[in-house]
């Protein structure tokens, strides 16, 4: 699995578990992280990093996987966001 797919996977999992507002917010941030402006990318990456915290998206009750698997996905998403912000 390539890292490009991780945002899509996380958004899909959120939708499957009826967390539409979080999915929409993450979609907006993923668009922003591809922006031409370094400042916009950096701000979006910081916000994604905050969302990936155990007390934010990490605290959601995801029925389709255990908490450990979910948090591993969020860690991958955080790394993806940091990398995209620097490119």
Distance CA 56, CA 52 (A): 6
Whole-structure pTM value: 0.89
pLDDT at 66: 87
What does DSSP assign to residue 59? Answer: G
Closest residue by Cα to residue 43 from 31, 58, 54, 53: 31
Higher per-residue confidence, 35 vs 2: 35
How far is C-alpha 55 from the geometric centre of its chain's CA atoms?
14
* pLDDT of 1 above 60: no
For 65-87, how does the pLDDT look when each residue is reduced to its tens digit (9 = 90+)? Answer: 988 999 999 999 999 999 998 88
Share of the chain above pLDDT 90, in %: 79
Write the pLDDT tens digit of every residue in 25-42.
999 999 999 888 999 999
Note whether 64 and 17 are within 8 A (CB): yes
């Amino acid at each position: 699995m390539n890292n490009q797919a991780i945002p899509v996977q996380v958004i899909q999992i959120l939708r499957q578990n009826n967390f539409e507002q979080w999915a929409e917010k993450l979609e907006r941030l993923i668009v922003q992280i591809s922006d031409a402006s370094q400042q916009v990318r950096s701000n979006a990456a910081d916000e994604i990093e905050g969302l990936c915290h155990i007390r934010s998206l990490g605290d959601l009750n995801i029925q389709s996987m255990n908490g450990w698997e979910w948090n591993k996905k969020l860690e991958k998403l955080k790394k993806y966001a940091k990398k995209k912000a620097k490119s």
